[in-house]
């Protein structure tokens, strides 16, 4: 039986990837940010799952304006780093886990989540920056990855409630997979940030910290937060935080908080990172 045992969330700012790739992580601007991930890197070395289901959003890399899937599941054997205009990031090709992805596609669609299924998908900084933050710069990523791309670029994105329900459905589907596997679920993006208009640079520490608390203790209530409140309190790009609710739904009702980190700024963004263990790991 497969089981979801832990989850984490992290921002996925492109400049973080550039800082890693260009060897700038020890510079004064970046050091406090990368120091904040040292605990997690040590934890991740001791807790290597078979598969990471990685919830992220594409940033006009794989999806053009011609196609806007709300939820798109990566069902291929591998996913290449996307060329985002500066050349692909010098990171390993992401190895998928097609048997579990096929199982999830079946389970989730029959559970009435009408996914888009991706058999070719180049993955951009939204997916590769979290891998770099947790696993550093290995020759090969130590885990298989199933990408789950969520539209948070064009409004309306899915509601927080729908994301939370999808997470719960992922948990059910994983538990029905008849192979002994450990799965972690990552939610990425956020926290407060706005990359457009005169309001750009918007950061809301109070909101972000309350979001952390509610994610742990009151995910049902948090899932009811309307989009307008995300934009008002976390900025137009802060809407990425709905993706964290997929992770939270997938961990079951009770979680143990293992680690939390918050830092401003990473480029234009508030960096938020939390590691959770599922209380019920059946």
Partner 1 sequence: MTSYTAGFEDIPGTRVFTAARAKQGYELNQFCMSLMKPENRERFKANERAYLDEWPMSEDQKQAVLDRDYNKMLDNGGNIYFLAKIFATDGLSYLQAVSTMTGMPIEDYQKMMISGGRSPDGWRSIKDGN
Q: Which residues are catalytically annotated?
A: 125, 193
SS3 148: strand
Residue with tokens 């109070």: 206
Residue 198 binds partner 1, judged by CB under 8 A: yes
Distances in whole angstroms, Cα of residue 217 to Cα of each of 28, 33, 87: 35, 26, 41
Q: Is residue 148 involved in binding partner 1 (CB under 8 A)?
A: no
Q: Which of 214, 232 has the CB closer to partner 1?
A: 232
Q: Which is nearer to partner 1, 118 or 169 (CB)?
A: 118
Q: Are 11 and 271 in contact (CB under 8 A)?
A: yes
279 Cβ neighbours under 8 A, 6+ residues apart: 252, 253, 254, 255, 256
List binders of partner 1 among 14-43 (CB under 8 A).
Answer: 14-15, 29
Q: Considering only residues 46, 66, 114, 221, which one is a binding residue for partner 1 as defined by CB under 8 A?
A: 66
Q: Is 138 a residue that touches partner 1 (CB under 8 A)?
A: no
Number of residues that bind partner 1 (CB under 8 A): 44
CA distance 275 to 100: 23
Distance separating alpha carbons of residues 269 and 282, to the nearest angstrom: 36
Select from 23, 112, 197, 221 the one that contacts partner 1 (CB under 8 A): 197
Minimum separation from the CB atom of position 212 to partner 1 (A): 17
Say if residues 257 and 274 touch (Cβ distance below 8 Å): yes
Q: Which of 43, 232, 257, 260 binds partner 1 (CB under 8 A)?
A: 232
Residue 231 sits in the site that holds partner 1 (CB under 8 A): yes
Give the interface segment with partner 1, choosing from 2-10, 167-175, 223-231, 253-261 (CB under 8 A): 223-231
Q: Are 179 and 113 in contact (CB under 8 A)?
A: no
Site for partner 1 in 70-109 (CB under 8 A): 83-86
Contact code string over 167-196 relative to partner 1, x by CB under 8 A: -------------------------x-xxx
Pick the closer one to partner 1 by CB: 82 or 183: 82
- Contact between 73 and 106 under an 8 Å Cβ cutoff? The reply is no
The tokens of 227 are what? 């989009």
Minimum CB–partner distance for residue 35 and partner 1 (Å) = 16
Q: How far is CA 24 from CA 80, 83, 143, 147, in A?
A: 24, 21, 25, 28
Integer angstrom CA distances of residue 36 from 20, 42, 56, 118: 14, 12, 21, 33
Contact residues: partner 1, CB under 8 A:
14-15, 29, 59-60, 64-66, 68, 83-86, 153-156, 192, 194-207, 227-228, 231-233, 236-237, 264-265, 267-268, 270
């Amino acid at each position: 039986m497969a089981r979801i045992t832990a989850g984490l969330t992290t921002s996925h700012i492109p400049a973080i990837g550039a800082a890693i790739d260009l060897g700038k992580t020890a510079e004064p601007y970046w050091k406090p940010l990368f120091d904040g991930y040292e605990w997690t890197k040590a934890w991740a070395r001791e807790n290597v799952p078979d598969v990471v289901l990685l919830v992220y959003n594409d940033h006009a890399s794989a999806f053009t304006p011609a196609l806007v899937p709300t939820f798109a599941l990566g069902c291929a054997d591998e996913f290449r780093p996307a060329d985002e205009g500066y050349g692909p990031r010098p990171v390993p090709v992401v190895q998928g886990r097609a048997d579990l992805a096929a199982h999830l596609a079946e389970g989730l669609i029959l559970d009435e989540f009408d996914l888009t299924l991706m058999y070719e998908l180049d993955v951009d900084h939204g997916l590769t920056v979290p891998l770099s933050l947790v696993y550093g710069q290995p020759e090969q990523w130590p885990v298989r990855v199933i990408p789950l791309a969520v539209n948070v670029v064009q409004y309306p994105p899915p509601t927080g409630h729908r994301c939370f329900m999808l997470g719960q459905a992922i948990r059910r589907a994983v538990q029905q997979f008849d192979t002994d596997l450990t799965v972690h679920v990552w939610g990425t993006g956020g926290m407060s940030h706005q990359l457009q208009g005169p309001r750009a640079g918007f950061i809301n520490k109070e909101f972000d910290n309350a979001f952390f608390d509610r994610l742990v203790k009151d995910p049902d209530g948090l899932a009811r937060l309307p989009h307008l409140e995300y934009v008002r309190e976390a900025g137009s790009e802060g809407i990425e935080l709905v993706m964290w609710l997929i992770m939270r739904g997938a961990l079951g009702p009770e979680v143990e908080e293992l680690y939390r980190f918050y830092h401003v700024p990473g480029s234009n963004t508030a960096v938020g990172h939390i590691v959770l263990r599922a209380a019920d790991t059946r």
